[in-house]
Copies of this chain bind each other. A is one copy, B any other.
Amino acid sequence: MSFGARLDEAVRRARTPLCVGLDPRWESLPLALRLAHGDGNRPHDMANAAAAYESFCLSVLELVAPFTAIVKPQMAFFEGCGPKGLKAMRRIIARARDMGLLVILDAKRGDIASTATAYAEAAFGGTAFGNATLSVWQADALTVNPYLGEDAVAPFIAEARKSGAGLFVLVRTSNPGAGLFQDLVCDEEPLWKHVAHRVAEWNQPGVDASGWGDVGAVVGATYPEELAWTRQACPRVPLLVPGYGAQGASLESLKAAFRADGTGAVINSSRAILFPGPSNAPDWKDRIAEAASDTSAALAAIAGLS
Contacts and interface: CB of A to CB of B under 8 A. Distances in A.
A176 B170 CA distance: 21
Contacts of A147: 145-147, 170, 173, 181-182
Interface string A278-299: 0000000000000000000000
Nearest to A74: B115
A177 B194 contact: no
A4 interface: no
Interface in A70-106: 74, 76-77, 79-84, 86-87, 90
A260 interface: no
A219 to B, nearest CB: 13
Contacts of A74: 115
Interface string A109-129: 111111110110110000111
Interface stretch (A60-68, A184-192, A261-269): A184-192
Nearest to A43: B129
Interface stretch (A149-157, A207-215, A226-234, A250-258): A149-157
A179 interface: yes
Interface of A: 23, 25-26, 38, 42-46, 48-49, 74, 76-77, 79-84, 86-87, 90, 108-116, 118-119, 121-122, 127-130, 134, 136, 145-152, 170, 173-182, 184-187, 191, 194-195, 198
A112 B194 CA distance: 22
12 contacts: A44-B130, A49-B129, A80-B119, A83-B84, A148-B170, A148-B178, A149-B173, A149-B175, A152-B173, A184-B186, A186-B191, A191-B191
Nearest to A198: B180
Given A76-B119, A129-B45, A136-B81, A194 B181 contact: yes
A136 B79 contact: yes
Contacts of A145: 108, 110, 145, 147
B184 A134 contact: no
Contacts of A175: 112-113, 148-149, 151-152
A115 to B, nearest CB: 5
A110 B111 contact: no
B150 A177 contact: yes
A136 B83 CA distance: 9
A52 to B, nearest CB: 12
A40 to B, nearest CB: 13
Nearest to A190: B186
A24 to B, nearest CB: 10
